[in-house]
Amino acid sequence: MYTHLFFDLDGTLIDSKPGIFRSVLHTLMEMGIPAPCSEEELNPFIGPPLRQSFKTLFGFSDHKAEEATAIYREFYGREGMNLFTVYPGIPGALEKLVSMGLSVSLVTSKAGIYASKIVEKAGLSRFLEMVSGCEINGNRSDKAELITYTLQKHGILPGKEIIMIGDRYHDIRGAKLTGISSAGVLYGYGSRGEIEAENPDLIIPSPAELVDLLTGIAE
């Protein structure tokens, strides 16, 4: 059914919550802003572009979001990016998908310089034909822009044989805006309600079901 698979990173291939949360809390402390009472209140922070998350979750102005992003990136690049685990079953699933002749790429709103280092450390880079992330200044952080950029780098046109797989609403919306298929995973940071509200082409409950659902074996 699909020829090209575009995977999100955070909440889809890796559990990066510890590093992201620690980086956000460090940023708030440096800026003299009280931290949320519960870390769970930071869940919406994971997924969307960094500057957008600071504006949406904390009501920051453009200027303040830039200041926060600079503090966040300094800490994240030094410490936070190393605090992650690969979801069980992901390496095996990617290996199987690649062995079946499918093209696998990473399409993430995370800065590309961090994303490349993370997938290398995670042992996943050998499965990826391409790594697409945003620029360090925030350019190309919108998921639709990233998908379009990845399509152009591949030299292919949008089509339903290409699918974006992610755990948040912006992954599915980005896919629809660019004319490709979409899959929402339920084991990441987005709730079932968030995923179902976007009406993706596929819903993937667990990493163990990635291969069957993406290749149509389960149908």
Active site residues: 8
Q: State both tokens at 144.
A: 């639709």
Q: Nearest-CA neighbor of 31 among 3, 70, 88, 57?
A: 70
Can you give the three-state secondary structure of the chain, one letter per residue?
Answer: CCCEEEECCECCCEECHHHHHHHHHHHHHHCCCCCCCCHHHHHHHCCCCHHHHHHHHHCCCHHHHHHHHHHHHHHHHHCHHHCCEECCCHHHHHHHHHHCCCEEEEEEEEEHHHHHHHHHHHCCHHHCCEEEEECCCCCCCCHHHHHHHHHHHHCCCCCCCEEEEECCHHHHHHHHHHCCEEEEECCCCCCHHHHHHCCCCEEECCHHHHHHHHHCCCC
**Residue 156: partners with Cβ closer than 8 Å, 6 or more residues away:** 4, 162
